[in-house]
Chain A
């Protein structure tokens, strides 16, 4: 039963998340709230972990959620489910490549999907921000924000600094 639920949830993420990378995040966050396979805090940890391990976040979190709920079989089911829609769609589109690229409906759909995907991710960001920050967190966030304004860097740069800040804060007993 849990395997069927895993299949359903991750298949529909694979089918409906547009815009890549963080586009899967709103769905994964929604699952944390409603399915309780992992907590929002664990999801945040997973985003950090998946930044230092190979592969896209969607695949990493699918594997992780599957593993937490049903062990190694669960992780296989979840990972296969999230990529299955891609596989099917790519096969179909590869055959109709010309029609797909020139189709006005496809263009119009992508045009409306882009701001929708952006808004979904923004909503997750705001929610995470409200739930997870205290005064010290705000301070760190402001520093990181300032750094991001000066020059855009690799994700690892921000994670490295924030991990260091965490260690320092831990040593002084602030967190």
Chain B
């Protein structure tokens, strides 16, 4: 199958419809479609795009699709892949949003949503647990967690402000490390001078 705009769109549209329960399953789905069936990329490249997709802001499934699309066909490929992956979820919600207002008044549906509301809490808990294991690795990251949590939960600071602050903290941390490294280098130089 050639890498035409339409084919890329169609492939990602198909993956988009299979993307149930959040974006986490995108890697195995894309492996199946792009590596096994179409041979458009190899597995190693795909895993790299998955990792890259996580280091860019936004929705991971969308980021990853755009990276793969760009790899296949440049800017138009990235556009095709993104449209394809987003379209099924867009259509599904537009259809459901119309019905939701009508059915949500039913007593039966309300009790389901009551139960499901509790279920969502567990899903959030599990997501936090998983993120915790990957992100809280030392004292510094624990402090970041602690401060962001307090500011967000108690002071209702907007998440956007806290994320921007965290970005600056990351830049500051690296700059400081560089300055320290230079200081150590120069102090070593003076030690040598004294020894001479």
Question: Is the beta-carbon distance between A144 and B128 smaller than 8 angstroms?
Answer: no
Chain B interface, >50% SS class:
helix
Question: Is the beta-carbon distance between B115 and A56 smaller than 8 angstroms?
Answer: no
Question: Is the beta-carbon distance between A141 and B122 smaller than 8 angstroms?
Answer: yes
Query: Count of chain B residues with Cβ under 8 Å from any Cβ of A?
Result: 94
Chain B residues 13-52 with CB under 8 Å of chain A are 16-24, 52
Taking the closest CB of chain A, its distance from the CB of B91, in whole angstroms, is 9
B6 at the interface (CB under 8 A from A): no
Question: Is the beta-carbon distance between A16 and B159 smaller than 8 angstroms?
Answer: yes
Chain A residues in contact with chain B, CB under 8 A?
12, 14-22, 24-27, 30, 33, 41, 44-45, 47-60, 63-64, 67-68, 72, 75-76, 79, 82-83, 85-87, 89-91, 93-94, 97, 100-101, 104-129, 132-133, 137, 140-141, 144-145, 148, 152, 154-156, 158-159, 161-167, 169-171, 175
Question: Is the beta-carbon distance between A104 and B134 smaller than 8 angstroms?
Answer: no
Chain B residues in contact with chain A, CB under 8 A?
16-24, 52-63, 66-67, 70-71, 75, 78-79, 82, 85-86, 88-90, 92-94, 96-97, 100, 104, 107-108, 110-128, 131-132, 134-136, 140-142, 144-149, 152-153, 156, 158-160, 162-167, 169-171, 173-174, 177
Chain B positions within 8 Å of A30 at CB level = 158-159
Question: Is the beta-carbon distance between A67 and B94 smaller than 8 angstroms?
Answer: yes
Question: Is the beta-carbon distance between B135 and A48 smaller than 8 angstroms?
Answer: no
Question: Is the beta-carbon distance between B170 and A108 smaller than 8 angstroms?
Answer: yes
